[in-house]
Amino acid sequence: MGRVLGGLRCIKYMLLAFNLLFWLAGSAVIAFGLWLRFGGIVKDLSSEGKTPEYFYMGLYVLVGAGALMMTVGFFGCCGAVRESQCLLGSFFTCLLVIFAAEVTTGVFAFIGKGMAIREVQTMYEEAYNGYLKNKMNKTLITFHSSFLCCGKESPDQVQSTCPRELLEHKNCIDEIENVISAKLQLIGIVGIGIAGVTIFGMIFSMVLCCVIRNSRDVI
């Protein structure tokens, strides 16, 4: 019986430590998602009427999963402290949902990045053609300042919209692909990484449930 209670205490503290780290990770995921959504390049693009919705889709899932992680981390601590099989079972179910959401985000980021890149490139093409028709169109300036590029094969037709800090010509179509690809790759890594961590939480919760059941049977 002493070994059972000792194992119960050990698993309980391990689950409490995991939930604390899980709560902090959820906070970090939310901050990361909001930074990508409302900071820098994406913020500038979304202020021009059209937005890269396909790119946003992955961010929304990531932020939602982060919020759920914080909530689940709190209730997971409650379940471990109270040694409640019901709460631990609910905790396992929520972790399973988070796992699915994070895997979906990661797969989307790696497989769907082509569509997201084409969406932003199409937005640039429309801004480029709009500027050629109407020199007062400021959308192209936003693209150039956000991606630090100018024009396509040649900047001659849009030279006046080029960023001053741009020392050499950079094709915006290529820069958009590079920047969006890098950001989506980062989202994918975060999503898959959190999914991997979630597996340990599911294992801990199930082991603790089994230990609690065995300890009650012994008693």
Question: Measured at the alpha carbon of residue 83, what is the angle toward residues 80 and 85, in degrees to the nearest 5?
Answer: 100
Q: Looking at residue 127, what is its pLDDT?
A: 87
pLDDT at residue number 62 = 77
pLDDT on residue 192: 85
Taking the complete model, does pTM exceed 0.75, yes or no?
Answer: no
Residues 6+ apart with CB under 8 A from 120: 45, 52, 55, 176, 180
pLDDT at 161: 86
Give the start-to-end residue ranges of the domains of the chain.
1-82, 104-218
Nearest CA-CA partner of 191 in 112, 99, 94, 67 = 99
Mean pLDDT by 10 residues, the chain (219 residues): 58 78 84 77 58 70 82 76 75 85 80 84 88 81 86 85 84 90 84 85 79 61
